[in-house]
Amino acid sequence: MTAFETVPVLITAAELDSLLRTGNPAPVVLDVRWRLGDPYGREQYLKEHLPGALYVDLDTELAAPATPGGGRHPLPDPASLQAATRRWGLSSGRAVVVYDDNGNTAAARAWWLLRWAGVEHVRLLDGALDAWRAAGLPTETGEPEAPAPGDIVLAPGQLPVLNADAAAEVARTGVLLDARVAERYRGEDEPVDPRAGHIPGALSAPTGENLAADGTFRPAEDLALRFTALGADDATEVGVYCGSGVTATHTIAALAHAGIPAALYAGSWSAWSADPARPAAQGEEPG
């Protein structure tokens, strides 16, 4: 068992509040406000955020510029990511907690990237901002004081990544999960990418089904049942993709919470569909 498998995926609002008050040092808290088609994450952050939380721009800090081959959110250059993490105050051994205002569907990208880069102690605030509010805990407005620069040295490559060929192979020989909404999987609606449909052989596993009605992750036992019903377990090679490699990381977090490792196809459908040589399946069936 690796160190990453022994670190919990989630932290509750009460647990984080305690760490912020008593931790020495307190964890770094990152606010990852982002939704597809909504450019106002920073403005929403400035109106309300957790005490001391730092805003992280998903498009510029958690991704490289879009390319047809890399998709809409390619993985960032390791040097750029290290510079960003040091700006956030990360140092070796210091805990990190990430959240957003949408069930952690964007914050999971930061969770995955940091673990991929070798940061062990990073967790998602279970229930995201709504859980913090529901617990009656204080929030702040405006820009917090900039943290002292960190000195962390990242070690990228600690979590598995798939390219298009590897994703196609997992679809044939293992389990490839498509984390987009079912309508996009079936090819009925495609608002942003070049073609509609899904990778042949992939199974539909919408990200929203990882969460309970209150926005927290479903219990690990429930998630394990969900994924094993799709053929995904710890004895099977599992890959996950979505539109551009963002919400797929939420499903990887849900799988990890259930004890099932999985690889990320970072280019996801945005890269696959941009390549006319790659086939697209449509409808309910994997194809």
Distances (CA, A) of 201 to 128, 180, 183, 185, 233: 33, 15, 17, 11, 17
Beta bridge mates, 65: none
The total of other beta-carbon atoms located within 10 Å of residue 139's CB is: 13
Q: What local confidence, expressed as pLDDT, does residue 3 receive?
A: 47
Q: What local confidence, expressed as pLDDT, does residue 5 receive?
A: 59
pLDDT band at 1, cuts 50/70/90? very low
Which tokens hold the place of 77?
């250059």
In tens, the pLDDT along 66-88 reads: 999 999 999 999 999 999 999 99
Best CA proximity match to 239, nearest among 184, 187, 179, 158: 179
24 has a pLDDT exceeding 90: no
| Lowest-confidence pick of 31-40, 108-117, 176-185 | 31-40
The H or E element that residue 55 is part of is strand 54-55
2 has a pLDDT exceeding 60: no
Mean predicted lDDT score pLDDT of the chain: 96
Annotated catalytic sites, by residue?
Answer: 242
Mean pLDDT of all residues in 133-140: 97
39 has a pLDDT exceeding 90: no
Chain CA centroid to CA 182, Å: 19
Distance separating alpha carbons of residues 150 and 144, to the nearest angstrom: 16
pLDDT band at 212, cuts 50/70/90? very high
Mean pLDDT of all residues in 262-273: 98
Percent residues over pLDDT 70 in the chain: 98
Mean pLDDT of all residues in 151-178: 98
Distance separating alpha carbons of residues 77 and 154, to the nearest angstrom: 12
Torsion of CA 79, 268, 88, 139, to 10 degrees: 170
Q: Residue length, the chain? A: 287
φ/ψ (deg, to 5) at 65: -60, 145
Q: What local confidence, expressed as pLDDT, does residue 36 receive?
A: 85
75 vs 3, which has greater pLDDT?
75
Q: What local confidence, expressed as pLDDT, does residue 6 receive?
A: 66
Sign of CA dihedral 18, 98, 28, 55: negative
4 has a pLDDT exceeding 80: no
pLDDT band at 258, cuts 50/70/90? very high
Distance separating alpha carbons of residues 222 and 158, to the nearest angstrom: 27
In tens, the pLDDT along 188-207 reads: 999 999 999 999 999 999 99
Distance separating alpha carbons of residues 153 and 140, to the nearest angstrom: 30
Distances (CA, A) of 180 to 75, 121, 222: 19, 28, 20
Under a CB-based contact definition with an 8 Å cutoff, are residues 122 and 95 in contact?
A: yes
Cβ density class 234-273: b for 16+ within 10 Å, e for less: eebbbbbbbbbbbbbbbbbbbbbbbebbbbbbbbbbbbbb
Q: What local confidence, expressed as pLDDT, does residue 49 receive?
A: 98
Residue 62 DSSP class: S
3-class secondary-structure state, position 195: coil
Cβ density class 163-202: b for 16+ within 10 Å, e for less: ebebbbbbbeebbbbbbbbeebbbbeebeebebbbbbbbb
